[in-house]
Structure 1
């Protein structure tokens, strides 16, 4: 991997050459990454991949027009040609007054240490054994587990540097480790598949390989004998990993591009009650070891903690500089997306939520993407369990759950205590008062 200092020098060269070719403003991002993925299937090595990547992108603004060019060749000639091409492309595009760098007073002035970098270059043999142990634990749960999609272990380390002609120069390095298993179980009724995983910045924080595998196996076996449901209006409890998708839909609806194009069901919704009182969606970009942590966004704008939804009220949007200008607003530091966004946990266990629901559907898997971002209409394939009198009765599959997101958000009756950060967006279990469940 190129050293961060070398990347800073390269970023400076790209900016200098872009300005020499006529850019009024310019920005550049330089990335480098290494990593290894080991996958086994039925105990045998399936794939073993090592990667070592690098790249740089320079964006030039000429008279309000924008052009970008990318290179993986860091020679002097390639740097020159890349900067020249970005400027040439800008001259061939239309001017837009919303184009340009983020305002200087929005840029990060300090780069805090977020504890993201925990180097540990795991040798191939150890990576294979970790993947093998995870898959073996999954396959050993029950004799009805007859096949496997495999166990996988991966590590990666990447660095990024961002610089622009306002004088901003910043970068950081981060690591990521992951382990997972997916297996297939079968009985007279057919076959079922499920999986489980763990991801962390620090390998010491990964869940044990055999625990991950065991959970993958247990999740698979419990789905055997799944049936269909008749169409009905019932309460729906989203298991925590599935509930995170509900937050993803909300984030999409408050992103700048969807707002200024008018293609969101939450246009002009800032300040409105979008969730029930007592519910808060928080963002923590500076969470130590966070999978989505970053000291600044993709434009160098400082990232800040905030409640996107506070006591049920939408406090604002997720904007980069371009979309902010189109909307007559200010950037919120979201070029590139959100950072460690989550729904705050409640005080009820998943078992208590089942009791509160009484009779209804527990959703453990969502299939497809049937969401209309303009209207909020929601319809997705699902699998999970039918619940009666607060107890799981039997598994179900090949069903569709439908509603409208604006109504669904306001119909969240309770949230669980089981918040886990397995990605950049996280949620505890979520109980929605009533949705349409369509089956046979």
Structure 2
């Protein structure tokens, strides 16, 4: 095999490339000003990565990537135009600015359009420890993937494999605007995963496991990932359904964060100003039990989504999203904030690191506390109505009796209403899944409808 690496940015090279991207952004802002734009903003990015996939002991794909992009947005008063390119030649950059200006001249005025307020721009840029590139050669990545899959397939009950993968990526980005703001970011992300199949014929079950982190040292060992994938897959063999009824439902940590995702969707500015959310006018109201809390920590060192500024250059800060069970604020960028008559919450581009406070122990202790009910480890489908909050999704997992796993469960639907589900959360575990910027343990909802065999 030819030697292929990620093309990882060396430490000095990455800083040099950031300065080059910063220089490009400044030239583009000057061109926009020269063409009559009253405001402008530029986003520049450059990404490098390596992605390897193997299956049944053979290499399937080896992909090395090197991508870049330049996006320009200009404002003529309150008329907006945007254009983008991946070509860094001066003629292409000039044409991109000209295209954005032409678009702006033909759009309608929008009272909420424009840059975020200049007074809100970030001025401090601490080192948040998000840059840990991995100089991974393709043959080494293949070896890691093969070792991961082999460890999983060592279990005689594993009949087949959907493969194993190893991926690494590094990203450089610059955001600048005509307020004089310029922000630079370096970030890395790595992952190893495996998906396996157990059983035969109609009795086949598929599951897997993966590890992801911003630093190679934080990843689980490939063999441990493979063994965990096998354990999870074999545990699903010979599933049963359940009679329809109402039972406590414990969402395992790896799926519990989807509940927080539904909350975020409902309190995001876009859903609110379109009046397409079941949580309209909910800021300041009690949505959860009085012990429940979610904090956003964008300045967390070594966090998966840490940054000193949001997608508009607004300074981020630690703040509560939910405190004492009460929704403290919405999730807003400047545009949605203006549409709602509010101020941005420095969430242009999304939330940063969310921490859901625990009030319970690990998963075994939560199972013991629940006694009898359903442990959900897999969710399927998109049966969530953002306007009404109605929730209905296919699910798989395990039936729990006397605090212990009794048998695997498949082919069921769990249903409820998110507002009611939030209000009846009984516990959040300490078994935090660290693979997401939404950091939560397992979440126990007191009662939901489970639809299976009657």
Q: Which residue of 1 aligns with 2:187?
A: 174
SS of the aligned residue for 1:28 comes to strand
Unaligned runs of 5+ in 1: none
Match of 2:73 among 41, 56, 59: 59
SS of the aligned residue for 1:37 comes to strand
Match of 2:156 among 124, 143, 158: 143
How many Å separate the matches in 1 of 2:364 and 2:133? 39
Q: Which residue of 2 aligns with 1:86?
A: 100
How many Å separate the matches in 2 of 1:136 and 1:346? 39
Work out whether 1:435 is the aligned partner of 2:429: no
Q: Which residue of 1 aligns with 2:127?
A: 113
User: Contact conserved, 2:393 with 2:415, CA < 8 A, in 1?
Assistant: yes
Normalising by structure 1, what TM-score?
0.98
Work out whether 1:74 is the aligned partner of 2:95: no
Q: Which residue of 2 aligns with 1:14?
A: 28
SS of the aligned residue for 2:199 comes to strand
Work out whether 1:247 is the aligned partner of 2:260: yes
Cα deviation for residue 120 of structure 1 reads 2.0
Q: Which residue of 2 aligns with 1:238?
A: 251
How many Å separate the matches in 2 of 1:150 and 1:187? 17
What do the CA deviations read for 1:88-127 (whole angstroms, capped 9, x no partner)? Answer: 0011111101000000111101111110111222001111
How many Å separate the matches in 1 of 2:249 and 2:36? 58
What do the CA deviations read for 1:16-55 (whole angstroms, capped 9, x no partner)? Answer: 1111111110000000010001111011101100000011
Q: Which residue of 2 aligns with 1:223?
A: 236
Kindly report which structure 2 residues correspond to 1:22-33, keeping only aligned pairs within 5 A, or say none: 22-33=36-47
What do the CA deviations read for 1:266-303 (whole angstroms, capped 9, x no partner)? Answer: 11111111110111111111112211111111101111
Cα deviation for residue 188 of structure 1 reads 7.1
How many Å separate the matches in 2 of 1:302 and 1:184? 47
User: Contact conserved, 2:332 with 2:347, CA < 8 A, in 1?
Assistant: yes
User: Contact conserved, 1:187 with 1:224, CA < 8 A, in 2?
Assistant: no
What do the CA deviations read for 1:175-213 (whole angstroms, capped 9, x no partner)? Answer: 111100000001576100111111111111111111111
User: Contact conserved, 2:360 with 2:366, CA < 8 A, in 1?
Assistant: no
User: Contact conserved, 1:383 with 1:399, CA < 8 A, in 2?
Assistant: yes
SS of the aligned residue for 1:5 comes to helix
SS of the aligned residue for 1:59 comes to strand
Match of 1:162 among 161, 167, 175: 175
Match of 1:153 among 166, 177, 183: 166
Unaligned runs of 5+ in 2: 1-8
Match of 2:218 among 196, 199, 205: 205
What do the CA deviations read for 1:371-417 (whole angstroms, capped 9, x no partner)? Answer: 11111110011000111121111111111000000000010011111
User: Contact conserved, 1:189 with 1:224, CA < 8 A, in 2?
Assistant: no
SS of the aligned residue for 2:67 comes to strand
Runs of 4+ in 1 over 4 A off after TM superposition: none
Deviates more, 1:269-278 or 1:188-197: 188-197
Q: Which residue of 1 aligns with 2:296?
A: 283
SS of the aligned residue for 1:83 comes to helix
How many Å separate the matches in 2 of 1:387 and 1:205? 32
Q: Which residue of 2 aligns with 1:104?
A: 118
Q: Which residue of 1 aligns with 2:6?
A: none
Kindly report which structure 2 residues correspond to 1:30-429, keeping only aligned pairs within 5 A, or say none: 30-140=44-154, 142-187=155-200, 190-429=203-442
How many Å separate the matches in 1 of 2:100 and 2:331? 27
Cα deviation for residue 61 of structure 1 reads 0.5
How many Å separate the matches in 2 of 1:69 and 1:421? 36
SS of the aligned residue for 2:126 comes to coil
How many Å separate the matches in 2 of 1:162 and 1:183? 41
